[in-house]
Amino acid sequence: MQKPDTIEQVQALLTAQGYVCGRALAVVVFLALRLGRPLFLEGEAGVGKTEIAKALAAGLNRRLIRLQCYEGLDASSAVYEWNFPAQMIAIRTAEAAGAADRGALQAELFSDEFLIERPLLQAMRPDEHGAPVLLIDELDRTDEPFEAFLLEALSDFQVTIPELGTIQAPEPPIVILTSNRTREVHDALKRRCLYHWVDYPDFQREVEILQARAPQASAKLSREVVAFVQALRTEDLFKKPGVAETIDWANCLLALDVIDLSPEVIADTLGAILKYQDDITKLQGSEAKRILDQARASLAPS
């Protein structure tokens, strides 16, 4: 599958995967593809950052390789490791067989057979469908030394394995980095990338997302659900609901055969949208009704 030639094609490609994409996002995705630059996406939780990489890989028919970041992630977990237990077994077997050629054994022990490829190395391997999409997810969870290492890796797309030599990607992967901004990512890394802040969608776009992801929900219920969640996001909450929560909630309501929101139904299903007890407590009593009234008012034709 060829890379899209226009911004509209990017939008169509993502829409075909059920990903609703505004123009601003389509423009940076287009530029990232066109210029071969990594795309750095920041935003609140559950707004569709990870999903973009998945939709793009599926739409372009490329392999998706995901590097999930966490505290303490190091180069060996990100690039490659030698399969130490298998190497030990091979040594024992060679010893038992009385093999004498140490050089041959050493060459065998440090060959592809004993190499465990981690995501960054996998992303540099040739692929018949073209360069894969490399998703470096939740970068803010790693620490600065790893970030510095990544900066190197992203600049030349090659890895040197002392025993094997240098492996260079025939075509650089399509790189998408995401962050929830629990800490600021270093400028040097950001400078290499195109940047986009993924915001909560507006009412119309969130209704479209819901129609794409929970198509069984009626238009009326979808609009009420979205209006309520959007009203909820203006409240002073510890953790605001993302798009993921809107979809979850709609699915919960469908499972309960709800056709219309009511304060009682909301109270019963709050756990799908709010994940902190303090936030749930805030919505008890008359609060849910007040927000529902506010949401309905925003839906009323003016």
Ligand X SMILES: Nc1ncnc2c1ncn2[C@@H]1O[C@H](COP(=O)(O)OP(=O)(O)OP(=O)(O)O)[C@@H](O)[C@H]1O
Residues that bind Mg ion (CB under 5 A): 50
Q: Is 134 near ligand X (CB under 6 A)?
A: no
Binding of ligand X by 19 (CB under 6 A): yes
Among Mg ion, ligand X, none, partner that 25 touches (CB below 5 to 8 angstroms by kind): none
Interaction pattern, residues 242-281, with ligand X; x per rule: CB under 6 A: -xx--x----------------------------------
Q: How far is CA 16 from CA 61, 174, 250, in A?
A: 12, 19, 22
- Can you give the length of the chain in residues? 302
Q: What part of residues 80-99 is at the interface with ligand X (CB under 6 A)?
A: none
Q: Give the shortest CB-52-to-Mg ion separation in angstroms.
A: 9
DSSP string, 191-236: HHSEEEEEPPP-HHHHHHHHHHH-TTS-HHHHHHHHHHHHHHHTS-
How far is residue 83's CA from residue 106's CA, in Å, rounded to a whole number?
14
Nearer to ligand X, 209 or 283 (CB): 209
Query: Parallel, antiparallel, or unpaired: how do β-strands 133-137 and 174-179 relate?
Result: parallel
**Beta carbons within 8 Å of 181's beta carbon, 6+ residues apart:** 42, 43, 140
Contact partner, 221, from ligand X, Mg ion, none, Cβ < 5-8 Å per class: none
The residue of the chain with the least Cβ separation from ligand X equals 48
Residue 64 as a binder of ligand X (CB under 6 A): the answer is: no
Burial annotation 86-102 (CB, 10 A radius, 16+ → b, else e):
eeeebeeebeeeeeeee
- Residue 139 or 153: the one with the smaller Cβ distance to Mg ion is 139
One-letter amino acid at 254 equals: L
- 45 lies in the site for ligand X, by CB under 6 A: yes
Q: Does 26 contact ligand X by CB under 6 A?
A: no
Stretch that binds ligand X, among 30-38, 43-51, 121-129, 157-165 (CB under 6 A): 43-51
DSSP annotation string for 145-173:
HHHHHHHHHHHH-EEEETTTEEEE-SS--
Which stretch in 47-55, 90-98, 155-163, 256-264 sits in contact with ligand X by CB under 6 A?
47-55
What residue ranges bind ligand X (CB under 6 A)? 18-20, 43, 45-51, 178, 180, 209, 212-213, 243-244, 247
